Amino acid sequence: MADVHSKAVRSYNMSRIRGKDTKPELLVRRFLFANGLRYRLYDKKLPGKPDIILKKFKTVIFVNGCFWHGHDNCKYFVVSKTRTEFWLDKIEGNKKRDEENVAFLKNNGWNIIIVYECQLKKEKREVTLNNILQNIQDQLQN
């Protein structure tokens, strides 16, 4: 089946997908800041360049897109009908790299929080954000 968009339109649409400062990420950052937590962004020295780094709590937060990181059992993770093999390989590679980065960070004593974009939709947002805050506070007690 052919793409419903022209090549130029598809290229433009894909160019608008950002890797930094996404809406889900900004939601988490605003919540943390409003709760008195200060953080760094995208530390290139850490594997996977975590979206949010809370050095004081030795915690990193990854805010992942459901499609790009292959969120299992999620209605927002739908594999493309065109070039399916390419996309499956790409997403599997992303998942493998994520696992390696998380393992390395855990082995070096970091607390890892992974949040998917579907967990920040209106109906789940408050619970998810409060869970993040609770996880960070629990880290402080340990």
pLDDT tens-digit series, residues 15-26: 777 777 788 999
Neighbours of 71 (CB within 10 A): 20
Contact 64, 102 (CB under 8 A): no
pLDDT, tens digit, for every residue of 39-80?
Answer: 999 888 999 999 999 999 999 999 998 888 889 998 888 888
Q: Is residue 107 part of a domain?
A: yes
- Per-residue pLDDT at 58: 92
Residue 24 inside a domain? The answer is yes
- Whether residue 95 lies inside any domain: the answer is yes
pLDDT tens by residue, 72-111: 998 888 888 888 899 899 999 999 999 999 999 999 999 9
Rounded CA separation 63/116 (Å): 6
Please indicate, yes or no, if residue 14 is contained in any of the structural domains: no
For the residues 107-118, what does the mean pLDDT come to?
94
Average pLDDT over residues 114-142: 90
pTM of the model: 0.85
Torsional sign, CA 140, 110, 132, 22: positive
pLDDT at 127: 95
Largest CA distance in the chain: 55
How many domains does one find in the chain? Answer: 1
Residue 132 lies in a domain: yes
Q: Residue 23: which domain range? A: 19-141
- The answer to whether position 47 is within a domain reads yes
Q: 142 or 119, which is more confident?
A: 119
Q: Does some domain include residue 1?
A: no
62 vs 42: CA distance, rounded Å: 10
CATH number for the domain including 103? 3.40.960.10
